[in-house]
Amino acid sequence: MENNAKKIIFSGIQPTGCITLGNYIGALKNWVELQNDYNCLFSVVDLHSITVRQDSALLRKRCKEFLVQYLACGIDAEKNILFFQSHVPQHAELSWILSCYTYMGELSRMTQYKDKCAKHADNINAGLFTYPVLMAADILLYQTDLVPVGSDQKQHLEIARDIAMRFNGIYGEVFKIPEGFTPKEGARIMSLQDPTSKMSKSDPNENGFISILDNPDVIVRKIKRAVTDSDNVIKIREGHDGINNLINIYASITKKSIADIENEFDGKGYGDFKQSVAEAVVEELRPIRARYDDLINNKDYIEEIYKNGAYAAQKLASRTLSKVHRKIGFVDRKY
Ligand code: TRP
């Protein structure tokens, strides 16, 4: 992280459910590309995950598994800062401060909040409401230039920018105003069972998503069962969400253009195409699973990574937080 000319990227995935092919194509695969040209912080955002009740033992295990999956996907612990959000207390501290510069009205407009309230009507906690403030803290703590996020997070990024501008408007240039970053490649990957909704990590229907750790048989089965129509035409067409999704998956993995794929499968049926998609996915994920199996029991190595990550992240975060404290008027810490 020596090169100060490089721009800063922050992103994170919540440790809920399992890392899916959608996360891989939409996020992790791009992170791997970004790590050479940017100074990147990639976090397992565990604080965010507790807006929904989690089993303690499972959460602890899953957090480590997620970190190892980052590594298995090719994210280099030497080049990036990898850490658990809860290990850097500045996230929670800044989040409180920023919540005092965020309006109830702004937060009430967040569509994800409204969706989550509908889904978890029995647990509409304050954390669910202030979630975007914590996300703003994640981003602003590191003077982040670019935030790679999917379209579902655009609104949250927008509010982070608004909060930053408001704060800067009062106190001067404290925060860098972050920009969204949409990679060239990487369509939004949809559920295999309901291709009108995003492939979700926490989908109760296991056939809807592919975990990046699924074994080949499972991958083949899930793709064969993917919902399509009865047209048997392999072309991107509006309203044909199921086949469009499979074409997008195939394109993202093989790096072939849509036109080439449409040509290649002209006159062929869904059966043939699904077979090809399944093979491509199996081969893409095979080395990831192998690396994961290699690393997951190496407790010392994993610990070393998240210890160093937290240390490096804290160092950067505390710089921003001290500045914020000074601007607000808190007494300087003498320890
Ligand atoms: N809210 C994001 C999601 O659910 C995860 C996240 C938390 C995040 N903090 C972030 C993403 C900061 C980018 C930057 O996908």
- Looking at ligand 1, which atom is closest to the CA of residue 48? 7
Please give the distance, rounded to the nearest whole angstrom, from the Cα atom of residue 163 to the centre of ligand 1. 16
Region of 20 on the Ramachandran plot (φ > 0 left; ψ -120 to 50 alpha; else beta): beta
Adjacency order of strands within the sheet including 81-84: 81-84, 39-44, 8-13, 146-148, 179-181
Q: Is 235 a catalytic residue?
A: no
According to DSSP, the residues that pair with 13 across neighbouring strands are: 44
- Which one-letter amino acid corresponds to residue 244? N
pLDDT of residue 243 exceeding 60, the answer is: yes
Task: Kindly name the residue from 7, 79, 176, 201 that is annotated as catalytic.
Answer: 201
Please give the distance, rounded to the nearest whole angstrom, from the Cα atom of residue 44 to the centre of ligand 1. 9
Q: Whose CA is nearest to atom 15 of ligand 1?
A: 13
According to DSSP, the residues that pair with 220 across neighbouring strands are: none
Please give the distance, rounded to the nearest whole angstrom, from the Cα atom of residue 24 to the centre of ligand 1. 15
CB 262 within 8 A of CB 236: yes
Residue 196's pLDDT is what?
94
**In the numeric block, which tokens belong to residue 145?**
């230039």
Mean pLDDT value across residues 144-153: 92
Task: Report the range of poorest mean pLDDT among 22-31, 128-137, 184-193.
Answer: 184-193
State how far the alpha carbon of 35 is from the alpha carbons of 177, 181, 232, 311, 319, in Å: 21, 14, 40, 19, 23
- Of all residues in the chain, the percent with pLDDT exceeding 70 is 98
- Give the pTM: 0.95
Q: Helix 56-72 to helix 299-328 angle, to the nearest 10 degrees?
A: 100
Exposed, middle or buried: residue 183 (CB in 10 Å: 0-12, 13-18, 19+)?
middle
pLDDT digits (tens, 9 = 90+) for 28-40: 999 999 999 999 9
Exposed, middle or buried: residue 125 (CB in 10 Å: 0-12, 13-18, 19+)?
middle
pLDDT digits (tens, 9 = 90+) for 81-122: 999 999 999 999 999 999 999 999 999 999 999 998 998 899
pLDDT of residue 302 exceeding 70, the answer is: yes
pLDDT of residue 4 exceeding 70, the answer is: no
